[in-house]
Amino acid sequence: MKKVLLLSALALSFVLTSCTSPLVGTWVQPQTNYTQEQGFVLYKNGSAEDINVDFVTYKSWEKKGDLLIIKGENTGSVKGDFSDTLVIEKVDDKELILSQSGYSVTYKRKIEK
């Protein structure tokens, strides 16, 4: 009986771990001479947070097929909620490429030290 419970616990742990989206994490564009590091954090629970993005506050995200939908609030002169739908061109453990209307942006995964 103990073996069955142990195997069940290990199987459940594997399933839960494998359900984590490869999108979860911190994604940034590197700092340049003209801009500061900017990007976003996608949390496992579906919430999101912007990193140095002017005039917006990211609140949530979801993945539908090859689309990433980020929702938030404009905080600049045009206030209100927004929803951006982006095509996921590539995602792996180091890089995320998103595109919209023929324009693509490459983000690097930021590993906290």
For 3-32, the pLDDT digits (tens) are: 443 334 434 333 343 467 999 999 999 877
Query: What range does the domain containing 52 cover?
Result: 22-109
State the pairing for strand pair 95-100/103-109.
antiparallel
Question: Phi/psi at 21 (nearest 5 deg)?
Answer: -70, 145
Answer yes or no: is 100 within a domain.
Answer: yes
Kindly report, residue by residue over 72-98, the tens digit of the pLDDT.
999 988 899 999 999 999 999 999 999
Kindly report, residue by residue over 34-73, the tens digit of the pLDDT.
778 999 999 999 999 999 998 999 999 999 999 999 999 9
Q: What local confidence, expressed as pLDDT, does residue 5 receive?
A: 39
| H helix runs in the chain, sequence order | 2-18
pTM of the predicted model as reported, rounded to 2 decimal places: 0.78
Q: What is the CATH number of the domain that holds 40?
A: 2.40.128.280
The total number of structural domains in the chain stands at: 1
